Amino acid sequence: MIAIVGAGISGLSLAYFLQKQNVPYLLLEKKENEHSPGGFIQSIREKEYLYELGPNSLLCDDFLLQWLNELELQTEIIEANPVSKSRFVFKNGRYQKLPQSPFSLFWSVFFSWEAKKQIFREPKIKSKTHPNETLTEFFERRFGREVVDYALEPFVSGIYAGNPDELLLKYTFPFLAELEQKFGSVIKGLKKTKSLGRKKSISFKNGMQTLPKKLAEKVKITYCQDGVQSIFRKSQSWEIITAEKNFQAEKVVITTPAYIAGDILQKIDFSLSETLQKIGYAPMVVVHTIYYKNLFRKPLNGFGALHPHKEKLFTLGHIWSSSVFEGRCKDNEVLFTSFVGGLKGIEKTFLDDNTLMSKVQKEIREIYKIDSLPVLQRVTRWQKAIPQYDKFILPAYERLQSLEQEGLYVCANWKDGVSVADCIKKAYNLAQKFK
Ligand SMILES: Cc1cc2nc3c(=O)[nH]c(=O)nc-3n(C[C@H](O)[C@H](O)[C@H](O)COP(=O)(O)OP(=O)(O)OC[C@H]3O[C@@H](n4cnc5c(N)ncnc54)[C@H](O)[C@@H]3O)c2cc1C
């Protein structure tokens, strides 16, 4: 029997893959609440409005698309509107389109000539091996400072709400380190592997939570009050303690956030527990704002816009949700999903809801030159949203690797990838080990 702690997308997918292989499992989740199942994946449908409180989209390759078909979700899938390939970055007081190809990079005014020269020179820059190189160090070394400030930094804020000066390349974007090692250059590597462009960004008619809801119909979840409290070794198996009942399992897979894993594993290794509790998490506030469409002089044709820290705006950026996926609000309206906080703006996450909403309104008013109030606004707070793959995570990885020999595994978003797609693939790969 394999016990899985936590029924977010990682735990649910793992249970599904084990079930398919006829491997007995026990999927334990905290007592059912209004948002479960799905952990961070939460979608709220209120009449014509669909709010994503957590992830907004899933980046699918062929493997994932096939899996969604296997789950009979093909009629629920909606693909991102082609216009959402355009992404904007706030630079020098206005939104500018991020170049998407070498040709558009050459002609675009987004980067200075100096920066463009440095980008085109990247294939000639010698590769280096730096085990603990940060994202900023890597990008500055290969592409120069302007790319760090106006492409890397806003992009990393968008995904990790983090600080590229702290995040480690090898753990955050391992494929970039591999491209450098294998092809001597990121650009050459991307061309050779055509790693870009083969993936589709998708969601579902009723939002991202459609996926965990579907998985929850297919697997068995055991809900327990307050969840798993602790785990320890007892003779040849693992003893799993909950408020109501104890369970035994040969193997255990932890899928909860790191600080909860720290609590649960205290009896196994106190110092590991402390290390896990110290893993950094970026806080984030998500603000949804709806306006009448006709207020905007230009259509919101794109995925949205990122706001580099240097530009000192209030939010990290806005997703133009109603431009990306259909059915997010009424046809005569637009829905903005804005992100506030992250590691570089922790203090903003302490503001009360009214202040947050009015600051987001002010920013939208100024950038988009509108002067009306929104139709609707709502605020969602994540105190610990995204785990940070920085140097403090390394001691935990080392110790956890040795625990695998005793049958304790981690399949969580704080190891080997934070995206929903990464979580599903890690679950699939781990399930293969248990065949
Ligand atoms: C605001 C935001 C936006 C994001 N946007 C995107 C995006 O657009 N695209 C993308 O790919 N990713 C995005 N992500 C990241 C992605 O959503 C998460 O990394 C992913 O959903 C994590 O899933 P998980 O199952 O690993 O963990 P979780 O979702 O944290 O699931 C863990 C589960 O464990 C349960 N649990 C906790 N304690 C216990 C216990 N003691 N016992 C039993 N169970 C317990 C929890 O209730 C939960 O169900 C976003 C994240 C956030 C916060």
Instruction: Give the tens place of pLDDT for each residue, 385-412.
Output: 999 999 989 999 999 999 999 999 999 9
Q: Whose CA is nearest to atom 9 of ligand 1?
A: 55
End-to-end Cα spacing for the chain: 12
In terms of C-beta distances under 8 Å and separation of at least 24 residues, what long-range contacts does 59-62 make, across chains too?
Answer: 59/199, 59/200, 59/201, 59/419, 59/421, 60/199, 60/200, 60/201, 60/202, 60/421, 61/198, 61/199, 61/421, 62/198
57 lines ligand 1 (CB under 6 A): yes
Read off the DSSP letter of residue 254: E
- The closest residue, in CA terms, to atom 34 on ligand 1 is 6
Q: Using one digit for the tens of pLDDT, what is the confidence trace for 305-346?
A: 999 999 999 999 999 999 999 999 999 999 999 999 999 999
Cα separation, 155 vs 58, in Å, equals 16
Most confident of 29-33, 37-41, 356-360: 356-360
Between the CA atoms of 250, 431, 55 and 134, what dihedral angle is there, to the nearest 10 degrees?
Answer: 90
Which residue, by CA, sits nearest to atom 27 of ligand 1? 8
Coil/strand/helix, residue 7: coil
Q: How do residues 247-278 score in pLDDT, each as one tens digit? A: 999 999 999 999 999 999 999 999 999 999 99
Give strand pairing partners of 120. Answer: none
CA of 270 to the centre of ligand 1 (A): 25
Contacts of 347 (CB under 8 A, 6+ apart): none
**Residue of 256, 382, 411, 416 best suited for mutating to test ligand 1, as the one with most atoms within 8 Å of CB:** 256
Question: How far is 117 from 144, CA to CA, in rounded Å?
Answer: 10
Q: Is 231 in the pocket of ligand 1 (CB under 6 A)?
A: no
Q: Shortest CA distance to 161 belongs to which of 318, 340, 352?
A: 340
Decide: 423 in ligand 1 pocket, CB within 6 A. Answer: yes
**Measuring from atom 52 of ligand 1, which residue has the nearest CA?**
54
- Residue 411 CA, closest ligand 1 atom number: 26
Rounded to the nearest whole angstrom, what is the distance from the C-alpha of residue 423 to the centroid of ligand 1?
Answer: 9
Domains 2-43+60-67+205-279+389-433 and 98-195 fall in the same CATH topology:
no
> Is there an atom of ligand 1 within 6 Å of 345 CB?
no
Q: Give the closest residue (by CA) to ligand 1 atom 29.
A: 39
Report the C-alpha gap between 44 and 48 in whole angstroms.
11
Q: Is the pLDDT of residue 196 over 70?
A: no
Query: Ligand 1: which residue has its CA nearest to atom 2?
Result: 54
Domain boundaries, the chain: 2-43+60-67+205-279+389-433, 98-195
Whole-model pTM?
A: 0.96
Beta bridge partners of 246: 241
d(CA 106, CA 90): 19
Task: State the CATH architecture for 98-195.
Answer: Orthogonal Bundle (1.10)
Mean pLDDT on 28-44? 87
Nearest CA to ligand 1 atom 7: 55
pLDDT, the chain, mean? 94
CATH topology of domain 2-43+60-67+205-279+389-433: FAD/NAD(P)-binding domain (3.50.50)
CA 167 vs CA 134, 150, 171, 339, 396: distances in Å? 5, 17, 8, 20, 16
